[in-house]
Amino acid sequence: MSFVRVNTGEVEVGQPVPWALYDDRKQLLFARGVVVETESQKKALIERGLFRKLPVNDTRLNTESGDKPADNLCAFDDIKLDIGDTLQLQSQGEGPQSRFYVRLIGYLKGRSIIVTTPTQDGKVLLMREGQGFVVRMFSGKSVYAFGTSIHKVANVPFPHLHLNYPGQVRGLVVRRGARARVNLIAAVVGADGRSHAASLVDLSTGGAMLTARLPMGARDDRLLLKFRVVVNEIEEYLSIPAVLKSVHAGAASEGDSPLINHGVQFEELPHNQQVVLSAFVYRVLFEETAEG
């Protein structure tokens, strides 16, 4: 996989970064969409060495090393998507403008898949027949991808596209416990009732890793994590009981004291919060995979 260095002009303070970001060892730092909050944070990242992946030119899917998903081939109609589900279209150009999100309208097996026409800033984008894309989608606990092209551009009764029906779709099953790289602010209530500020750096449906300036408790202490996620453009606030499983000092940045890493295991959640957490984790994993 090829990487290219990110220049200072490509990162805007206060704006979501349009790619997953990696350090000089090609280790994932942030998932796509993280916001660089200050000029000093931006300067530190650029000086440290910041990289992004070059876009792919085929339908292969990848994940960061660790617990890799299981790869399989299937038919499009086996995925059992629902009308209105989100699909990502990625053209072969570089940059965020090469990726568009559309909604599934319907499909006819062996003929075409019908999706909404991509828009940008509320305006319908110009699409041409024969234009090629890699399509990615998420369903259940799997990420799917296939190559296709536009069969027909239609504007009546509303703008929509007919995509050529794929012969096969490649799927990756996200294994239980797969962790999504995140950068979320969290408030943590310790066993003693004290509140702590922390950062979530990875997250799964069953646990997380947090960093903080000071230890937030001892092994087997019970904590309460509170943090905000965005799912389908809707802000959701989660309040998750957890058990502290590990506490250890991380690597220190130059001139800074080391942050304390806290590994936690989530306790049983209400169904509605479990649904939100799962949707968020799998969406981040989808975005990481789409960057692969």
Pick the closest to residue 160 from 238, 248, 89, 91 (CA basis): 89
Q: What is the pLDDT of residue 233?
A: 64
The residue with greater pLDDT, 220 or 37, is: 220
Whether 58 is in a domain gets the answer: no
Q: The pTM is what?
A: 0.50
Backbone angles phi and psi of 176, in degrees to 5: -55, 130
pLDDT tens column, 98-138 = 778 899 999 999 999 999 999 988 899 999 999 888 888 87
Whether 94 is in a domain gets the answer: yes
- For residues 83 and 34, membership in a common domain is answered with no
- CA dist., res. 16 & res. 14, Å (int): 7
Considering 61-65, 133-137, 251-255, 288-292, the range whose residues carry the highest mean pLDDT is 133-137
Residue range 224-236: mean pLDDT, rounded: 83
- For residues 105 and 157, membership in a common domain is answered with yes
209 secondary structure, DSSP code: E
**CATH code assigned at 145:** 2.30.110.10
Range of the domain at 108: 70-173
In the numeric block, which tokens belong to residue 125? 């984008």
Q: Tally the domains of the chain.
A: 3
| Identity of the amino acid at 158 | F
pLDDT tens column, 174-226 = 665 678 889 999 999 998 899 999 999 999 888 999 999 899 999 999 999 99
Cβ distance 117 to 169 under 8 Å? no
